[in-house]
């Protein structure tokens, strides 16, 4: 929220600004090849984006990025009013220390780790002069064909909101003006994940209750955590491109939620209003966006080139321009840029890739991997003398990063084969090959086979959509050929999305989903495979059996003819069971847990209710369980999801140990967007589960 110092300062500055200087603040530029320094010297840019790689690959040392941004800042401070630039960059899941992709981070079900990782990313990125990251991405995704599913937290609004809060806090800290903190940008506001057919940039339709209860909550959480900025989505949502949606950008965001920061467009998305067919030319597009509440134009130049003339023609007002400038100056002021516009180049040598950062990256990678199958306890590997390790990821380095890592360096990564060698117990021989024929040949003499498969990072991320969720070409055949040998077979799948690996899960003895695990992915994997650590990740998104099941998500509505395998006129496919391959929340570990003694503190929730159950480690090794709380509102004025996640806790238990896990459910946790459009609870009956995933659990009832 604004404070008096910000506001007095901004008002005084605004009073001195010419129209050109004001419009300059609304303009973000990309310093490409034809960069014109006079744009900075004349105050015609408020921000500089480095997404083009302008700060990488230019032959600078670690400290060179700071020198370069300081150089741009110096030019800017030659301008009349000396309003500093804010440097923005895509610091999505780490900077030099690359953490697991966001989807994998969500799989750790540990927002505190995400907070710590974001804090490290902020410390590292600010060494380059970057003060603003285009993260976190908070798009709910129910369609893994969409490549950007890798960049978000999966399908659930509760988990997504917890992650949003934690990541914003990690980037921004208590005080964003601290030299090692970054301004967060919650993106892409809103509904971007609902792009039809999983095709990035496509249109989407989302009903108002679903928008409010599923897609908006993570953004609201980010705003409540103090996120300084938001980015509008490329999407045309319900016929209004998000970049020109006044109801969402102004009425909801500022009016209902009290957001006082600024909104930036996505790359050229203001100009794209012409392609959408809601604007006839640049000037029209710029007007629509400004009047919707969009403050900064990311690189399309249409604000810079047309807003002055639109003002002279009386099509927009000075108040509208002033309001956008005010918001941008507010965040720059809050970020301390007026007092500290430059970056100490020596920080890079201290703050990049520290041992503590690597440790956290390793812990995060370990916690994010999800064990999907483990027949006869094949994993962790024990008593195998010779293990054949084969597949396209055998020598992976930078491939472990995943999408959006412009500042990660492959040479910082221990290659996967080496990392496995370092973590394997003495006496275990590992034979590596990428070659299928060689693998088939060697497998005969091996005691067990480990296949490292999945998607190369270039197959996930922005606009990397697929129509087939199967493994990339050739890999399914490879798995099939290897199973013919009858050796114990474990698969590790690297991917930026859920893959429909139904057939491979069937034939393999063990399957571990490693996502794109980041800089320490190899060591983390080795520790899990060889038993120094046990897996504890859970799926933050439903895994379909086949592409044709998409969209498939756990918190769906019941329908009038709910799923029933024996029902002829029940919702179904003729050629596939209706259930997913693995449900949301699912994940195994090296031990087993038993749930018992569910207790509710009352039969009726008045204000709040305590729900608890006993969890016992009934296996022989220590392990971590992610205990989940779900509810179902049985009757509503609108149909309600069959389950909704309302809480989760990670508990670590020794063999034989029992603990009681307690959740508090408050009345407001049961609120939803009702038939009359208001938000609140409705009295009635509820089901509640304490569960290890979204399909199982101990079931109880209460009334509200």
Positions touching ligand NOJ (CB under 6 A) are 51, 90, 134, 187, 266-267, 462
For 601, how many CA atoms within 13 A lie in the half-sphere containing its CB? 13
Nearest to 260 by CA among 328, 165, 178: 328
Whichever of 95 and 134 has its CB closer to ligand NOJ, that residue is 134
Minimum Å distance from CB 51 to ligand NOJ?
3
* Helices of type H across 389-520: 416-423, 436-443, 475-483, 502-507
Minimum Å distance from CB 192 to ligand NOJ?
8
CA distance 334 to 331: 5
Whether residue 635 contacts residue 647, with contact meaning beta carbons closer than 8 Å, is answered with no
Whichever of 133 and 504 has its CB closer to ligand NOJ, that residue is 133
Residue carrying structure tokens 């998305």: 269
Distances (CA, A) of 103 to 92, 256, 299, 513, 636: 11, 29, 28, 12, 32
CA distance 179 to 176: 8
Whether residue 124 contacts residue 519, with contact meaning beta carbons closer than 8 Å, is answered with no
Q: Per the omega criterion (within 30 degrees of 0), is the bond before 136 cis?
A: yes
Distances (CA, A) of 572 to 145, 198, 270: 21, 22, 42
Whether residue 161 contacts residue 220, with contact meaning beta carbons closer than 8 Å, is answered with yes
Whichever of 134 and 689 has its CB closer to ligand NOJ, that residue is 134
| Orientation of helix 521-529 relative to helix 416-423, angle to 10° | 40
Distances (CA, A) of 409 to 41, 355, 472: 33, 16, 25
Mapped onto helix, strand or coil, the DSSP state of residue 284 is helix
Minimum Å distance from CB 55 to ligand NOJ?
13
Minimum Å distance from CB 21 to ligand NOJ?
25
Distances (CA, A) of 64 to 57, 69, 76, 123, 160: 10, 9, 18, 16, 36
- Which is the catalytic residue, given 6, 110, 200, 266? 266
* Cα three-residue angle 119-121-126, rounded to 5 degrees: 100
Minimum Å distance from CB 24 to ligand NOJ?
20
Nearest to 331 by CA among 185, 137, 134: 185
CA distance 321 to 261: 15
Whether residue 130 contacts residue 173, with contact meaning beta carbons closer than 8 Å, is answered with no
Nearest to 230 by CA among 202, 266, 204: 266
Q: Is 468 a catalytic residue?
A: no
At residue 185, φ and ψ (nearest 5 deg) are -135, 105
Beta bridge partners of 596: 614
| Orientation of helix 282-292 relative to helix 318-334, angle to 10° | 60
Contacts of residue 690, defined as CB under 8 A and 6 or more positions apart, other chains included, come to: 595, 598, 611, 612, 613, 627, 628, 629, 661, 663, 697, 698
| Orientation of helix 318-334 relative to helix 4-16, angle to 10° | 130
Nearest to 388 by CA among 454, 439, 453: 439
Catalytic residues: 266
């Amino acid at each position: 929220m604004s404070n008096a110092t910000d506001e007095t300062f901004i008002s005084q500055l605004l009073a001195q600004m010419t129209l050109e200087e004001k419009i300059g603040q609304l303009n973000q530029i990309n310093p490409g090849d034809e960069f014109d320094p006079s744009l900075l010297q004349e105050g015609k840019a408020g921000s500089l984006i480095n997404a083009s790689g302008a700060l990488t690959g230019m032959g600078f040392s670690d400290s060179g990025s700071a020198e370069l941004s300081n150089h741009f800042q110096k030019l800017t401070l030659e301008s009349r009013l000396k309003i500093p630039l804010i440097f923005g960059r895509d610091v999505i899941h780490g900077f030099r220390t690359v953490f697991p992709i966001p989807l994998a981070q969500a799989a750790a079900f540990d927002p505190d780790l995400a907070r710590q990782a974001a804090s490290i990313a902020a410390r590292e990125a600010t060494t380059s002069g970057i003060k603003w990251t285009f993260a976190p991405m908070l798009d709910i995704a129910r369609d893994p064909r969409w490549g950007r599913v890798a960049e978000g937290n999966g399908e659930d609004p509760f988990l997504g909101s917890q992650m949003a809060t934690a990541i914003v806090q990690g980037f921004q800290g208590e005080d964003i003006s601290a030299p090692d903190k970054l301004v967060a940008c919650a993106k892409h506001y809103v509904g971007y994940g609902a792009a039809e057919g999983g095709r990035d940039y496509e249109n989407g339709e989302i009903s108002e209750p679903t928008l409010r209860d599923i897609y908006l909550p993570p953004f609201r959480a980010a705003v409540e955590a103090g996120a300084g900025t938001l980015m509008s989505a490329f999407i045309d949502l319900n016929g209004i491109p998000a970049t020109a949606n006044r109801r969402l950008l102004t009425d909801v965001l500022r009016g209902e939620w009290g957001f006082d920061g600024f909104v930036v467009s996505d790359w050229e998305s203001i100009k794209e209003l012409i392609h959408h067919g809601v604007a006839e030319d640049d000037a029209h597009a710029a007007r629509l966006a400004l009047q919707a509440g969009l403050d900064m134009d990311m690189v399309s130049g249409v604000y810079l080139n047309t807003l002055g003339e639109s003002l002279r023609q009386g099509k927009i007002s000075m108040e509208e321009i002033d309001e956008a400038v005010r918001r941008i100056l507010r965040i720059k002021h809050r970020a301390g840029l007026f007092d500290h516009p430059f970056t100490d180049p020596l920080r890079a040598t201290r703050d990049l890739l520290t041992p503590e950062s690597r440790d956290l990256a390793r812990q995060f990678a370990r916690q994010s991997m999800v064990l999907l199958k483990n027949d006869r306890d094949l994993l962790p590997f024990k008593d195998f003398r010779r293990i054949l390790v084969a597949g396209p990821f055998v020598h992976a380095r930078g491939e472990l990063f995943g999408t959006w890592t412009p500042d990660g360096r492959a040479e910082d990564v221990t290659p996967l084969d080496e990392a496995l060698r370092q973590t394997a117990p003495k006496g275990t021989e590992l034979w590596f090959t990428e070659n299928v024929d060689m693998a088939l040949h060697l497998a005969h003499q091996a005691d067990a086979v480990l296949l490292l498969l999945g998607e190369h990072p270039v197959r996930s991320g922005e606009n990397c959509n697929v129509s087939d969720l199967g493994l990339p070409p050739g890999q399914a055949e490879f798995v099939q050929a290897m199973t013919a040998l009858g050796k114990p077979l474990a698969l590790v799948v690297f991917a930026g999305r859920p893959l429909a690996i139904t057939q491979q899960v069937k034939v393999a003895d063990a399957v571990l989903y490693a996502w794109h695990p980041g800089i320490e992915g190899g060591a983390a994997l080795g520790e899990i495979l060889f038993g120094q650590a046990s897996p504890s990740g859970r799926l933050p998104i439903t895994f379909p059996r086949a592409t044709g099941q998409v969209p498939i998500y756990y918190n769906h509505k019941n329908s009038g003819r709910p799923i029933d395998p024996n029902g002829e006129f029940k919702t179904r496919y003729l050629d596939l069971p209706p259930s997913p391959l693995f449900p949301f929340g699912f994940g195994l570990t090296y031990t087993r847990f038993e749930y018992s003694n569910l207790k509710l503190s009352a039969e009726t929730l008045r204000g709040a209710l305590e729900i608890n159950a006993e969890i016992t480690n009934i296996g022989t090794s220590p392990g971590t369980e992610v205990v989940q709380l779900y509810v179902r509102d049985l009757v509503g004025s609108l149909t309600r999801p069959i389950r909704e996640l309302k809480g989760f806790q990670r508990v670590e238990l020794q063999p034989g140990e029992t603990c009681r896990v307690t959740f508090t459910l408050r009345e407001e946790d049961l609120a939803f967007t009702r038939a009359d459009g208001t938000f609140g609870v409705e009295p009635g009956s509820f089901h509640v589960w304490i569960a290890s995933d979204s399909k199982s659990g101990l079931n109880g009832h209460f009334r509200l």
